[in-house]
Each structure stands twice: as structure tokens, then as C-alpha cells.
Amino acid sequence: MSTLRFKAFEEVLQRVPVAPLVSYDKSSEIFATRVFNKKAMRDFMPKEAYESVVSAMEHGTTIDRKMAGMVATGMKAWAMSKAATHYTHWFQPLTGATAEKHDAFFEPDSSGNAIESFEAGQLVQQEPDASSFPNGGIRNTFEARGYTAWDPTSPAFIIGKTLCIPTIFVSYTGEALDYKTPLLKALHAVDKAAVDVCQYFDKNVTKVIATLGWEQEYFLIDTALHNARPDLNMTGRTLFGHAPAKGQQLEDHYFGSIPERVLNYMRDMEAECLMLGIPVKTRHNEVAPNQFECAPIFEECNLAVDHNQLLMDIMAKVAERHHFKVLLHEKPFAGVNGSGKHNNWSLSANTGVNLLSPGKNPKTNLQFLTFFINIIKGVHENADFIRASIASASNDHRLGANEAPPAIMSVFIGSQLSQILDELEEKVKSGKMSPDEKTDLKLGIGKIPEILLDNTDRNRTSPFAFTGNKFEFRAVGSSANCSLAMTAINTIMAEQLIQFKKEVDALIAKGTGKDEAIFKVLRSYIVSSKNIRFEGNGYGDEWVKEAAKRGLSNIKTTPEALDALVSKKTKKLFLAHNIMNEREMEARHEIYLETYTKKIQIESRVIGDLAMNHIVPVAIRYQKMLVDNVKGMKELFSGKEFQTIAGMQLEMIKTISAHVANITSHVEKMIDERKKANNLHHAKDQAIAYCHKVKPYFDTIRYEVDKLELLIDDTYWTLPKYRELLFTK
Ligand code: ADP
Ligand code: MG
């Protein structure tokens, strides 16, 4: 009898909701109380230091040593006023998680006493002994030092008793070893390129920021049940498990009332977020049972990325108090919807204008169309790179699984805007346009309504959908660091805008009027990027066929998708904007391939272990029970009567043997393939082998195991079943 499974289940039945730790009446009461934001800076720093940081935040100016010293003193005073005893540089290595190394403020002085110390040097730079972070060969052991450097654009915050300072993480030779460094460069590139284009429309624009509003999906599973599933514990997803009789078909979970236990967890988690300045706003049930979503108000992209990384940490920590485990994996349960992290993205000018929001008059609408059409064109030109930016072993389960956007990149814009682009295409003439034609065109553009009513967002199947005043990149995985996707989109947009300006300026130089030049270039983009636009059902098979006809890529698995990170085109793009050099790109490519291989390797081992240590022994034990029973029958009955009475059990005995034999032989073959893969020397070959030789056994083994689950006495089964994992509140 499986004691662990039943003990776990009993534990869950006895759970009482844990009351939230922090009680508050208004979110604004606690908002950003643990953040060294502008208000705190003003309170704790001299004016000149404050201004120096604000200027660094807003204009990217550097902060000199003297100022940094004042900032450090102010930051320490603030942190100590909040009872912090330690500080850490907080960074995002390529493991995908966040990293911290805590140091005490405490410092012994010469007289044998101690003081609390924190100086410019400690604020600006740290040297974590970081030789075991992934580096893709960038950091040889003889230069094993990496260093972290303060990112003043993302404010410091306090978790527990530790002051956390957001930093970049680079090798001693200056190469990026993290997610933040290239993102900051991409944001800088798009800022500059967008400002230049805005000059056509509004001379007051001097700064453009990218904005990001993510929507985090996740599952909550009771800790006891989670711990009784070694697969969940070690891989974040269930590798076996038959679908429950009731799944998500009744759609009764989506937006349903949130159970009290979960609600208390959410309140606690949100309180932590609010104190850290994460503007969480929305919470609701998702489609699958025990699946939920949390979304903040959008923010500047770099800050939003940091906040998402923080959120993922907070979620896990707070969950412990409530006896939950948070699953951020993209596909924890087969046959049940997986989780994503929609990235709502836009560009916002310092004049307060959202550049992806239709305006009030023809001029602002032309600006809107310019940015809108350029991003479509950019996605068209760089679809493979965008696909690569969301590639991971776990996201492969989701993309193209008829529940999430497919691996085919396309852009949805809605019927109203499609019509406007069609009109533009038709009305812009190849020769010189007459004043009447231009007026007519402007009138058409002037008619774009400021708010695009239900034109958008109804298509939930597009990976990249325009939703009224932003694009929603829906293919990002729930466990991903948003940085890579955001680095890709913003770099692509920067490049695209620069090309656009070049083309427009060339026409102007030849004597074409400004508006006409803009119209002409936009028209040529509408025509050349038409293939990427798709308004239909992205989950359907017809789209797969149609996309192939259009020549669009459909790269289903990660090892191949990652090629586009190091393609000639991407290299050129990254070099042009100084986002990464070739070594950094190659290193990343290798790290991602290795991560892929390791993930599949671990899953494969867990499958082998579980199959041989849990499933097969249980099957044999149950089979023995049947055999004993049949033997007993034979003593009592004979001949035809025995056949009738024992026939069904004899069949079951045989069926169990067949499943056990299949499991055993598949596991053996899988292990053989693993050995072969391990002997390959190149990261790409290994990843390909794991993907196409090892991974296919996962499904064949699972098929047999899930059949046994239905066959075997429930009390023998050791692993908590889907119905227990998903339907216990
Ligand atoms: P949904 O139907 O997807 O929930 P919402 O309008 O509620 O749509 O917005 C979803 C997300 O988009 C939110 O996180 C919101 O903050 C974000 N968002 C809204 N405007 C922008 C913008 N200009 N830039 C980036 N994100 C935005
Ligand atoms: Mg959304």
C-alpha cells in the first residue's frame, strides 16, 4: 500500500487556510515601502546626488565616484532605517533564475569595535566568485572572476533584511553573462531610433521608452502532493499521469470564484509585491483547474523585467507559508492547458504619447501607423529570431499544442486596421501624388478611431497580436526571463526604424515631400510584409498548411530554433546595435543548447527511475495478487467453469505483463540513446540527439504507464494522480 501518497492526501484534507501575513486596507498604504525610489532618495540623499541618479535614470548619464559615495551613504541610511543588515548585488545570470550573494554592512574598525559600512565601491561593483554560473566558455578559469555593476535605472529594494541592488553581470573581459546587459543596450537602441523617427511628427520628443506589461500564469499544487511526485519535484512537470475523468472541459474554472486558501496566498503574495513596488493589479482563475494568473500595470521594460523576476521568487517563497508549490513550468500536466507569460509591449514618448495608440488627428495617426507598420515589417524580417528568443525545452510543449500560439510567427491586427492598411496600399501612387490624392489619404488616416473597439484581442490564437494600443507577444513561456524576448523585439524595432528613416530621408533628398515619402515607404512595407499577417485561427491545421505555402517557418523544437540566435542576420543585427558581440552570441547559443540537453537528460533519468522503481514494481505486486487469486480459483473450480470465472483476470495478468515488458524495453532503449547522445561532442549535436532520439521515448513509455494507472488497484498506486493534484483545493 502506498503510504506516501495517502499520507499526503490526508494532509491536504486537513489543511486550513493560512491567514495572510500583512493586512492592509489600501494598496497605496504599502506600495513601494521597501523600494529606494525617488521619494526615498529625496529623503535620504543630498540634492546633487539625487539629481545625478535621476539624470542617470532618465538620460543615461554616468554617476561619478563622489556622487556614488553619496548615493551609497543615503542608500545605507535608508536601508538601516528599514532594519536591513545586509546588502547584495541582485542579478540575472543565464540560469534564468536570479542570483544574490549577501554581505553584511558590518565592518570591524581599528579600535576593535564595529561600524556599519557601505561605500561607493560596494554599491557600484562587486566580484561574486561566480565561476559556476553558465558562461559558454567566455570565462576561462584563469580569469574566473565576473563582476556585477550597479544598474541605477532599476531602484534598489529590501527583501527581508537585505538591501538588493539590481546589477548587470559581466565577465572580467567585459562580456555579458546575464540577461540584463543586452536588454539595456536594446532599450537604448530603440530609444534613439524611435526618437529620430518621432522628429518627423513632433520635435518635442527627446526620449522614448519601451513599456512592458506581463501576465504571469501559474499552477498551485499542495506541497504534500507535490513532494510525493518525484517528477514534479525534479523537473517541474508530471512525466506520467492519466487524464482525470473531469478535466477542463466544463470550463468551470476560468474566472470562477477563487478558493479561500488560494485567495489568502494571493493576498500575501500581492502584499509582498506591492511593498516592493510591483504594481500588481489583476488576479483571476485561468482555464485549467488550479491554474491562475497575476498581472501588474505595465512599466518601463527593464523595470518590468526585474519585477517579473522578483515576482517569480516571491511567489515561491510566499507559497511555502500556505503549503503550496507554485508551478511555473509551461506544461506541468499533459492534456491540461499549459502556462504562458503574455508580454504586452509598446513604446512611449516623453510627451506622454503611446506611439502604438491611434491619435486624435491625421498627424498623430500617421505617427501611429509609422510605428505600427514598422513593427509588422520588423517581425516579418526577423521571425526566426523572435521564435528563437522564446525557445526552451519546456516551451516546446506549448507552442503548437493547440492551446497556445503556434511556433509559426505571425501578426494579428484586426479587421479595422487591415482595412486601413489595404486602403493605404491602394491609395499611395507610385509616381508623384497630387495634392488631392494626398488630402484624400490623410482624410482616410484621420478616420482611425482613437479607441479601436473590439477590433482586437478577440483573436487569442495569434502569437503576436495588436490589442488596441500595444502588441501582445503571447508565445513567451511562463518560466522564462522576459529579457530575451524583449531584447529581440526592441532590437528589431530599432533596426527597422533606422532603415525606415534612411529610406524616407532618401526620398526627401530627392525632392519628395515628407508626408508623401513616409506614405511611400510605409506602403512598400505593407506590401513586403503581407505574408506575416494572419487574422484566422492560429491553432488550426489549415494555418500550418497556409503558412508553409507562404514560406513562413514553423520550427517546432528548440535545438533548431536556436540556430537563429547565431544566424548571419542576427549577428549583423546585434553587432550593428552593439547589443552583443559574436563571442557573447556564440556563448549564449551554447548555453541554451546545453540547458536544453540537461533538461531533457534529467527528465529522461526521472522517467527511467520512476518507471522502474515505482511503476513496474507496483504492477508486478498487483499482478501477483491477481495470480494468487487465480491460483485459489483453480483449487475451487476446474475445466470450463474455471475458464469462465478466471478468464478476465488471466487477461489482466497478460496485459500487465505486456505493459511491463514494453516499459522495460523502452526504458532500456532510451538509456542506450542517452549513452549515444552523451558521447557526442558538440552542444548542437547533443541537443538534437536528445530532442529526436531520446525524447520520443517519453511518450511511448508514458503511454504504457498511463494504461497501467487505469488498470491497477488504486490503493497500490504510489504517485498522486491528476485528479488529486488538480482538484484538491
Ligand atoms: P487583457 O485582456 O489581455 O487582460 P488588458 O488591457 O487588461 O488586456 O492589458 C493586459 C496587460 O497589458 C496589462 O498587464 C497592462 O498593464 C498591459 N498594458 C496596457 N497598456 C500597455 C502599454 N502601453 N504597454 C505595455 N503594456 C501595456
Ligand atoms: Mg493577455
Please say if the pLDDT value at position 1 is more than 60: no
User: Which of the listed residues 580, 613, 636 is the one where a domain comes to its end?
Assistant: 580
- Say if residue 567 is in the same domain as residue 696: no
CB 145 within 8 A of CB 172: yes
**pLDDT digit string, tens, across residues 432-451:** 888 888 888 888 887 777 76
41: nearest Cα among 95, 12, 77, 87: 77
Give the pLDDT of residue 251. 60
Same domain? For 209 and 313 the reply is: yes
Instruction: Identify whether residues 127 and 150 lie together within a single domain.
Output: yes
- Asked whether residue 153 falls in the same domain as residue 233, the answer is no
Asked if residue 361 is part of any domain, the answer here is yes
Tell me, what's the pLDDT at 183? 98
Question: Are residues 209 and 97 both part of a single domain?
Answer: no
Q: Are residues 168 and 210 in the same domain?
A: no
* Closest to 355 (Cα-Cα) out of 484, 500, 491, 195: 195
Domain that holds residue 551: 187-238+260-580
Q: How far is the CA of 363 from the centre of ligand 1 (A)?
A: 25
pLDDT higher than threshold 60 for residue 456: no
Question: Does 382 share its domain with 471?
Answer: yes
**CA-CA-CA-CA torsion sign (133, 139, 141, 142):** negative
Residue 272 CA to residue 283 CA, distance in Å, equals 15
> Considering the domain boundaries, does residue 573 fall inside one?
yes
Reduced DSSP (H G I as helix, E B as strand, rest coil) percent helix, strand, coil of the chain, to 5: 55, 15, 35
Please identify, by atom number, the ligand 1 atom nearest to the C-alpha of residue 212: 25
Q: Based on the fold, state whether residues 606 and 542 are members of the same structural domain.
A: no
DSSP assignment of 333-359: STTS---BEEEEEEEEETTS-BTTS--
In a domain, 2, yes or no: no
Ligand nearest to the CA of residue 209, numbered in listed order = 1
Q: What is the DSSP string of 262-276?
A: HHHHHHHHHHHHHHT
List residues near ligand 1 (CB under 6 A): 211-213, 215, 295, 297-298, 344-346, 354, 457, 469-470
Model confidence at 139, pLDDT cuts 50, 70, 90, reads: low
CATH code at position 78: 3.10.20.70
Residue 252 lies in a domain: no
Task: Indicate if 206 and 167 belong to the same structural domain.
Answer: no
**What's the pLDDT score for residue 141?**
46
CATH classification of the domain holding 388: 3.30.590.10
Which residue, of 550, 580, 610, is where some domain finishes?
A: 580
282 in the same domain as 197: yes
Q: What is the torsion angle, in degrees rounded to the nearest 10, for the CA atoms of residue 525, residue 527, residue 528 and residue 530?
A: 110
631 and 562 fall within a common domain: no
> Last residue of some domain: 178, 200, 215?
178
Q: 538 and 649 share a domain?
A: no
Whether residue 590 is contained in a domain is answered as no
Ligand having the closest approach to the CA of 349: 1
Tell me if 387 is assigned to some domain.
Answer: yes
How many helices (H) and strands (E) the chain has is answered by 26, 17
pTM: 0.95
- pLDDT tens per residue across span 181-223: 999 999 999 999 999 999 999 999 999 999 999 999 999 999 9
Indicate the helix (H) or strand (E) that contains 89. strand 86-91
Residue 4 included in any domain: no
Q: Model confidence over 368-398: pLDDT tens digits?
A: 999 999 999 999 999 999 999 999 999 999 9
- Judged by DSSP in three states, 164 sits in strand
List residues, by chain if needed, whose CB lies under 5 Å from ion ligand 2.
342
Q: Domain total for the chain?
A: 3
Q: Which CATH number covers residue 602? A: 1.20.120.1560
**Domain-located, residue 111:** yes
Residue ID of nearest Cα to ligand 1 atom 2: 457
Of 212, 344, 354, best ligand 1 pocket probe by most atoms within 8 Å of the beta carbon: 344
Ligand 2 centre to CA of 342 (Å) is 6
Question: Which of the two residues, 188 and 59, has the higher pLDDT score?
Answer: 188
Going by CA atoms, what residue is nearest to atom 17 of ligand 1?
A: 213
